[in-house]
Amino acid sequence: MTDALLRFDGVALVRGGRLLFERLDLAVGPGEALQVAGPNGSGKSSLIRLAAGLLRELRGRVERSPLALADDSSALDGELSLGRALRFWSPEPDEAMDALGVGHLAAVPVRLLSSGQLKRAALARVAASRAPLWLFDEPLNALDADGAARLARLVDRHRSGGGAIVAASHQPLAGDWRRLELGT
């Protein structure tokens, strides 16, 4: 498979002097979804940040397509309305906001949003990007049942459009995900 959107070749990662994993191979192609699972501290978030290019691998090689990342920080300016804050990152966020059920909050300042609404906003930031590869770090954190269902629909739509998703989560994700267990 040469058209993988994310590929790890014999990758080793060290954080704070601790070897989190080594000789890790993985390939995520168009239409695929990979859940990175494992106990707390097993390196799920680090794997996502490595996949994003925010961390450097110690050994091996990482190849990645253009990507978008949603982690615990929303990267949205608190004093702006949600619509304007999202527009800093992508010109057309309206559809993604509706898909995550935060369209009616477009005029509300980001600092007034609840943590669940902020999580939806961060996911909308990813959905509004045109990146083929989506990276999620604990996407279900703070999401209610409606939010989780909307996320599952969004994931399905992205996959059927030829996109790929890698999500780190210790909770089961709705849908058909390949699993990678860390720390075992």
Partner 1 sequence: MIARLIARDARRGLIGAAWLPIAFFLLVAALIPFAIGPDARLLARIGPGGLWIAALTAALLPVERLIEPDRAAGVLDQLFLHGAAEESVAAAKIAAHWLTFAPLLLLAAIPASALLAMDAPSLARTELALAIGTPGLAALAVAMAAVTAGLPRAGSLAGLLLLPLAVPLLIFGAADAYLLEAAVSLLLTAGAPFVAAAAIRAGRT
Q: How far is the CB of 110 from partner 1 (least distance, A)?
A: 10
Question: Would you say 41 or 172 has its CB closer to partner 1?
Answer: 41
Question: Would you say 79 or 184 has its CB closer to partner 1?
Answer: 79
Question: Would you say 134 or 177 has its CB closer to partner 1?
Answer: 134
* b/e sequence 43-75, b meaning 16+ C-beta within 10 Å: bbbbbbbbbbeebebeebebebbebbbbbeebe
Q: How far is the CB of 151 from partner 1 (least distance, A)?
A: 19
Q: How far is the CB of 67 from partner 1 (least distance, A)?
A: 7
Q: State how far the alpha carbon of 115 is from the alpha carbons of 45, 128, 143, in Å.
A: 19, 20, 8
Question: Would you say 10 or 78 has its CB closer to partner 1?
Answer: 78
Beta strands in 84-163 (DSSP E): 133-137
Q: How far is the CB of 181 from partner 1 (least distance, A)?
A: 24
User: Distance between CA 167 and CA 173 in Å, rounded?
Assistant: 9
SS3 161: coil
Q: Where do contacts with partner 1 occur on this chain (CB under 8 A)?
A: 15, 49, 52-55, 67-69, 71-77, 79, 88-89, 125
Q: How far is the CB of 84 from partner 1 (least distance, A)?
A: 10
Question: Would you say 1 or 55 has its CB closer to partner 1?
Answer: 55
The answer to whether the beta carbons of residues 128 and 87 sit under 8 Å apart is no
User: Distance between CA 103 and CA 69 in Å, rounded?
Assistant: 20
User: Distance between CA 176 and CA 34 in Å, rounded?
Assistant: 9
Q: How far is the CB of 179 from partner 1 (least distance, A)?
A: 25
Question: Would you say 15 or 153 has its CB closer to partner 1?
Answer: 15
